[in-house]
């Protein structure tokens, strides 16, 4: 035991002399763990919210009766159905805003609630009296998640809140009477819950009520997990990328420490420490360091996740309508998993060095040159491996199907390109040396080649960060351009409104037709159906020049609008066309109605498939179709006047929207959606910069034998520092230039493979040379900043340290 302790003390003493190397090791591991566990925290938090939302009122297990499109109906239907022997329970759902927070209100009727819809903590009896005390009568107590109870403390206009851990954090559950009052929907209900174990009532549904109620087997909230899968996969991919970049730093620090400690390891072997014990002691040392870094990294991950959580919550809300809280609450298992990933990452990064230690003969110094020769051989193997990975990436992207295959292709592309970087740079540097004239220039290129092995990992990290940045940036900028253009074309009507009832709709329509400022009314009808098992929204639109001139299409038949107007054809959204492999000219059947696909249109941001057809046709095919929003074309310069008049005359509230506000909101959702991606992009670049900085700093100590002869030959320390800086900048520049084709390949994969698999639409591929130039400049600047400290140290180095190179026997 004492032997192990003394050997460990000797090994640890190395770090005291090389604190920067220790910082690189701990820092790299900490950053890797922090970014990985931060992303996992975001995913875990969101998934827990989906689960909670799906569990509310029994989730998928409890069927319900509702009108198509979720239109509210009168509570008299509930009474009629109960009288007809239907064991239904009414529910009213809606949202309210409390300051900046949007809360979902869920009104229930506890006395008739099916057993499967009860919350944890409720007894098996009809109603737990204690739990629901004060719930169905004043003070109209409501249930909410403990965090929500704490967050809403002191908020006026709310009933007293009781904490209930099973609820989603943005949900208030209350008696249906209280909910009707709070949502200003007296006597209305959204749906009727059914007991899943009920026997068929004697009176059929159609006889019990006139309303076209639909039997829903599943709750739409249960689909959130599937819908948001691609978003979380994207986050995970970024987290993994950052983790790998961090591990590059760790690998680099460990490999360097091994190189520098080689004489010490050899001495320890000579003094009687066996290879097995030495490896064991190194393992203990690594375990200790990785535990320390893991704990710090997990804390860092929590900080990162807490900072990004509001953006993630906004993205998920904007994209999928998913209620995710903007704050974090994490399980113990998350903390332990973070520390474990740090330890496993460190072990993985150190595996090769540990194996070398175990196999190292005591006379290792005699074979050092041979090891370097083996490194040159490894460069060839690395090149071959890179080519294989790039071939695999191409095969996966071009021929494999599915989101996971898309991301696997992306991973193979990034890894292959990273592995190919050192051989590619070696070729460039060799070409530079061949073209160089003069001794200093020749030394410059030759020395850069020698320095390459020490810097290659950091440069690979930089390449990955830049490639991901260019790829994601190209995708997001292309998406932004396309989306903005699409919004401009799609939202042509100046004003949109949605009447609260059919009576209101008729009144508003009559008024609008009488207004000179309003040049056209464009009502819509909505229905839902399924095609090949997929949920599809059917939209009926009014045939009008507005649509004929401005509706953007991906593909369209020559006489498409005329054919759709006659009711023989439809337009399909790109998502639906991709999922069902539809093309223009193809015949489809929708609920018994046969129509031809006359055009395919983009429908960004909509996770469901959509069919659009002429409104009177839809009214015939789907008699239960509900009234959708109506667009108003307004004479130029009269929009605000029309809005003001409508606000004054009708109670439309948030249901009256002007086009500019709608566009602004849509663009805001877009920017929120990619805010997290942008933040992770910046963090990955930061990690790569840190990797470069630590590599340069640690390498600078080993560079003296290469620099001292030049100094002795008459190059000043200032001149040497300038040459070193130039070399670093040149390497960063070459890496950044090589990152451009990589980034474009990544962008193509995201646009043409991942996006299509995840969302069902393909974006046009735009190039942004300005972004490349900015990133190349940023990479060179990062390298320059990273090199500043070591270069400055060299410039100010006392001559005695350079002299020692010639006198130091070691």
Residue numbers of the site for another protein (CB under 8 A)? Answer: 2-3, 6-7, 9-10, 13-14, 16-17, 263-264, 266-277, 361-363, 809-810
Helix (H) / strand (E) element for 626: namely: strand 626-634
Minimal distance in Å, beta carbon 14 to another protein?
A: 5
Minimal distance in Å, beta carbon 285 to another protein?
A: 13
The residue (of 10 and 116) whose beta carbon lies closer to another protein is 10
Minimal distance in Å, beta carbon 25 to another protein?
A: 16
Minimal distance in Å, beta carbon 767 to another protein?
A: 53
The residue (of 10 and 291) whose beta carbon lies closer to another protein is 10
474, 543, 608, 662 from 528: Cα distances, Å? 35, 21, 10, 24
The residue (of 277 and 797) whose beta carbon lies closer to another protein is 277
The residue (of 4 and 240) whose beta carbon lies closer to another protein is 4
Taking residue 775's Cβ as centre, other Cβ atoms within 10 Å add up to 21
DSSP state letter for 110: G
Helix (H) / strand (E) element for 74: namely: strand 73-74
Nearest to 328 by CA among 306, 348, 313: 306
The residue (of 648 and 809) whose beta carbon lies closer to another protein is 809
- Measured CA to CA, the distance from residue 699 to residue 458 in angstroms comes to 11
Q: Do 179 and 94 form a contact (C-beta atoms < 8 A)?
A: yes
Minimal distance in Å, beta carbon 7 to another protein?
A: 7
The residue (of 9 and 375) whose beta carbon lies closer to another protein is 9
- Measured CA to CA, the distance from residue 473 to residue 467 in angstroms comes to 10
DSSP 115-147: GGGPPTT--SSS--TTTTTTTSSTT--EEE-HH
The residue (of 7 and 113) whose beta carbon lies closer to another protein is 7
The residue (of 253 and 676) whose beta carbon lies closer to another protein is 253
Minimal distance in Å, beta carbon 272 to another protein?
A: 3
Minimal distance in Å, beta carbon 364 to another protein?
A: 10
| H-type alpha helices, 650-768 | 659-702, 704-712, 717-748, 755-759
Q: How far is CA 777 from the centre of its chain?
A: 27
Nearest to 34 by CA among 339, 458, 349, 315: 339
- Packing angle of the helix pair 704-712, 659-702 (nearest 10 deg): 70
Q: Do 339 and 294 form a contact (C-beta atoms < 8 A)?
A: yes
Helix (H) / strand (E) element for 595: namely: strand 593-601
Minimal distance in Å, beta carbon 151 to another protein?
A: 53
Q: What is the largest CA-CA distance in the chain?
A: 105
The residue (of 385 and 797) whose beta carbon lies closer to another protein is 797
467's torsion region: left (phi>0), alpha (psi -120 to 50) or beta?
alpha
3-state secondary structure 159-197: CCEEECCCCCCCEEEEEHHHHHHHCCCCCEECEEEECCC
Q: Which residues of 262-286 are buried (b: 16+ CB within 10 A; e: fewer)?
A: beebbebbeeebeeeebbbbbebbb
Minimal distance in Å, beta carbon 398 to another protein?
A: 46
Taking residue 640's Cβ as centre, other Cβ atoms within 10 Å add up to 13
Q: Do 462 and 421 form a contact (C-beta atoms < 8 A)?
A: no
DSSP 473-497: HHHHHHHHHHHHHHHHHH--SSEEE
Angle at 150 between CA 149 and CA 156, to 5 degrees: 70
Minimal distance in Å, beta carbon 691 to another protein?
A: 25
Helix (H) / strand (E) element for 610: namely: strand 609-614
**What is the token pair recorded at 411?**
């991973």
Taking residue 178's Cβ as centre, other Cβ atoms within 10 Å add up to 21
Minimal distance in Å, beta carbon 274 to another protein?
A: 4
The residue (of 277 and 284) whose beta carbon lies closer to another protein is 277
Minimal distance in Å, beta carbon 271 to another protein?
A: 5
Minimal distance in Å, beta carbon 1 to another protein?
A: 10
The residue (of 188 and 269) whose beta carbon lies closer to another protein is 269
Minimal distance in Å, beta carbon 267 to another protein?
A: 4
Minimal distance in Å, beta carbon 16 to another protein?
A: 6
The residue (of 267 and 288) whose beta carbon lies closer to another protein is 267
Taking residue 40's Cβ as centre, other Cβ atoms within 10 Å add up to 23
Residue written as tokens 């508003």? Answer: 508
- Measured CA to CA, the distance from residue 22 to residue 16 in angstroms comes to 8
- Measured CA to CA, the distance from residue 144 to residue 150 in angstroms comes to 10
User: Which residues, including other chains, have CB under 8 Å from residue 2's CB and lie 6 or more apart?
Assistant: none
The residue (of 272 and 438) whose beta carbon lies closer to another protein is 272
- Measured CA to CA, the distance from residue 319 to residue 485 in angstroms comes to 19
The residue (of 15 and 772) whose beta carbon lies closer to another protein is 15
The residue (of 365 and 716) whose beta carbon lies closer to another protein is 365
Minimal distance in Å, beta carbon 6 to another protein?
A: 5
The residue (of 1 and 510) whose beta carbon lies closer to another protein is 1
The residue (of 18 and 490) whose beta carbon lies closer to another protein is 18
- Measured CA to CA, the distance from residue 605 to residue 609 in angstroms comes to 11
**What is the token pair recorded at 441?**
């220039």
Nearest to 289 by CA among 331, 377, 350: 350
- Measured CA to CA, the distance from residue 235 to residue 37 in angstroms comes to 11
Q: What is the torsional sign of CA 268, 269, 273, 279?
A: positive
- Packing angle of the helix pair 439-490, 769-795 (nearest 10 deg): 140
Minimal distance in Å, beta carbon 703 to another protein?
A: 18
Minimal distance in Å, beta carbon 355 to another protein?
A: 15
The residue (of 13 and 485) whose beta carbon lies closer to another protein is 13
């Amino acid at each position: 035991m004492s032997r192990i302790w003394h050997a460990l003390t000797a090994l640890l003493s190395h770090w005291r002399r090389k604190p920067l190397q220790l910082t690189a090791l701990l820092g790299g591991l900490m950053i890797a763990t922090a970014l990985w566990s931060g992303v996992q925290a975001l995913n875990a938090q969101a998934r827990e919210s989906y689960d909670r939302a799906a569990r509310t009122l029994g989730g998928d297990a409890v069927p319900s009766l509702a009108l198509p499109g979720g239109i509210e109906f009168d509570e008299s239907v509930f009474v009629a159905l109960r009288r007809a022997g239907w064991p239904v329970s009414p529910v009213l759902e809606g949202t309210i805003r409390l300051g900046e927070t949007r809360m979902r209100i869920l009104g229930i009727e506890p006395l008739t609630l099916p057993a499967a819809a009860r919350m944890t903590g409720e007894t098996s009896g009809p109603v737990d009296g204690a739990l629901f005390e004060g719930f169905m009568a004043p003070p109209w107590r409501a249930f909410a998640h403990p965090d929500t109870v704490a967050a809403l403390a002191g908020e006026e206009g709310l009933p007293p809140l009781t904490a209930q851990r099973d609820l989603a954090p943005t949900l208030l559950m209350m008696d249906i009477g209280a909910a009707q009052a709070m949502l200003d929907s007296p006597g209305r209900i959204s749906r009727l819950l059914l007991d899943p174990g009920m026997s068929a009532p004697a009176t059929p549904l159609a006889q019990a009520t006139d309303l076209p109620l639909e039997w829903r087997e599943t709750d739409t909230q249960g689909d959130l997990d599937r819908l948001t899968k691609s978003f979380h996969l994207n986050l995970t991919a970024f987290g993994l990328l950052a983790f790998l970049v961090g591990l590059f730093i760790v690998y680099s620090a460990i490999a360097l420490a091994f190189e520098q400690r080689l004489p010490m390891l050899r001495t320890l072997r000579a003094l009687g420490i066996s290879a097995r014990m030495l490896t064991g002691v190194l393992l203990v040392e690594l375990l200790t360091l990785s535990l320390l870094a893991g704990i710090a990294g997990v804390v860092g991950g929590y900080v990162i996740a807490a900072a990004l959580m509001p953006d993630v919550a906004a993205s998920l809300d904007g994209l999928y309508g998913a209620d995710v809280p903007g704050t974090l609450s994490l399980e113990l298992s998350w903390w332990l998993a973070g520390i474990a990933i740090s330890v496993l990452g460190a072990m993985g990064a150190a595996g090769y060095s540990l194996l070398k230690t175990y196999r190292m003969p005591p006379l290792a110094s005699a074979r050092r040159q041979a090891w370097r020769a083996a490194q040159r051989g490894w460069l060839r193997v690395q090149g071959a491996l890179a080519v294989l990975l790039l071939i695999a990436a191409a095969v996966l992207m071009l021929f494999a199907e599915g989101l996971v295959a898309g991301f696997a292709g992306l991973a193979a592309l990034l890894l292959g390109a990273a592995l190919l970087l050192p051989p590619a740079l070696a070729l460039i540097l060799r070409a530079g040396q061949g073209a160089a004239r003069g001794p200093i220039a020749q030394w410059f290129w030759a020395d850069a080649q020698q320095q390459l092995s020490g810097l290659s990992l950091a440069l690979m990290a930089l390449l990955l960060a830049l490639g991901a940045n260019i790829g994601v940036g190209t995708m997001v900028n292309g998406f932004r351009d396309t989306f903005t253009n699409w919004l401009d074309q799609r939202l042509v009507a100046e004003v949109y409104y949605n009447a609260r009832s059919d009576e209101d709709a008729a009144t508003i329509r009559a008024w609008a037709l009488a207004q000179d400022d309003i040049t056209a009314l464009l009502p819509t009808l909505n229905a839902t159906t399924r095609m090949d098992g997929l949920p599809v929204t059917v939209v009926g639109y009014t045939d009008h020049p507005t649509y004929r001139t401005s509706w953007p299409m991906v593909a369209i038949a020559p006489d498409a609008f005329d054919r759709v107007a006659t009711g023989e054809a439809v337009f399909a959204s790109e998502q639906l066309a991709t999922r069902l492999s539809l093309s223009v000219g193809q015949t489809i059947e929708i609920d018994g109605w046969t129509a031809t696909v006359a055009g395919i249109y983009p429908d960004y941001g909509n996770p469901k498939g959509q069919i659009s057809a002429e409104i009177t046709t839809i009214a015939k095919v789907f008699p239960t179709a509900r009234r959708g929003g109506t667009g108003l074309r307004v004479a130029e310069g009269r929009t605000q006047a029309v809005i003001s008049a409508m606000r004054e005359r009708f109670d439309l509230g948030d249901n009256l929207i002007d086009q500019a506000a709608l566009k602004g909101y849509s663009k805001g959702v877009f920017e929120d959606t990619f805010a997290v991606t942008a933040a992770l992009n910046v963090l990955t670049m930061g990690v790569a910069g840190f990797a470069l900085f630590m590599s340069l700093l640690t390498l600078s100590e080993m560079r003296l034998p290469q620099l001292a002869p030049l100094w002795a030959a008459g190059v000043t320390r200032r001149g040497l520092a300038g040459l070193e800086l130039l070399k670093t900048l040149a390497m960063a520049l070459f890496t950044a230039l090589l990152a451009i084709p990589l980034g474009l390949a990544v962008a193509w994969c995201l646009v043409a493979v991942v996006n299509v698999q995840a969302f069902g639409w393909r974006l046009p591929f735009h190039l942004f040379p300005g972004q490349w130039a900015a990133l190349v400049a940023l990479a060179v600047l990062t390298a320059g900043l990273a090199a500043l400290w070591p270069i400055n140290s060299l410039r100010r180095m006392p001559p005695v340290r350079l002299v020692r190179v010639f006198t130091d026997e070691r």
